[in-house]
Amino acid sequence: MCDGVGAKDEPRIDAWVRLHRAQRKALAAVEAASKRAGFPPLVWYDVLLELDRPGNERGLRPYDLERRMLLAQYNLSRLIDRMEREGLVERGACPQDGRGQMIVITDAGRELRRRMWLVYGPAIEQALAALTEAEARQVTKLLDKLA
């Protein structure tokens, strides 16, 4: 992921390459651990997490999820279909806006999220174990600028 010409000093291009390699490698490791444990894709966890946050007891609209999770709307629509079919979330009417819906997490959804975290959390720690805590904090601070 660079122009391939060679030794030019292009710090942002180098950072881009590392950003992708690190993300893909860490994600692959965590996905593998989650899969070994028989869990659904990690994006399901992310949806459940957003819905399970304090303050979201009445649910979130797909539009909100879309923005928080950087997912395309058409994508989210079918993802919610699948999760609803598994009984992890429910669709409800939106009182303020007839076009919208409220997506609410179910008890089964909360329970799955809890169980996934038992595998997911340690897997993340392990995937980033090469960073000291101070280095991890530095990464957080630097990458926050890109959010």
Footprint of its own copies (CB under 8 A): 1-4, 6, 11-16, 18-28, 45-46, 49, 52-54, 70, 113, 117, 121, 124-125, 127-131, 133-140, 142-147
E strand or H helix at 101, and its extent? strand 101-105
* Residue closer to DNA (CB basis): 61 or 110: 61
**Greatest Cα-to-Cα distance within the chain, rounded to the nearest angstrom:** 59
**Partner that binds at residue 119, options its own copies, DNA, none, CB closer than 5 to 8 Å by kind:** none
Q: How far is CA 4 from CA 8, 10, 56, in A?
A: 10, 12, 47
CB of 58 to DNA, least distance (A): 13
- State the amino acid at position 80 in one-letter form: I
Contact 63, 50 (CB under 8 A): no
**C-alpha closest to that of 43 among 126, 127, 116, 108:** 116
CB of 32 to DNA, least distance (A): 9
Provide the binding-site residues for DNA, judged by CB under 7 A. 35, 41, 43, 61-63, 66, 72-82, 91, 94, 97-101
**Partner that binds at residue 80, options its own copies, DNA, none, CB closer than 5 to 8 Å by kind:** DNA
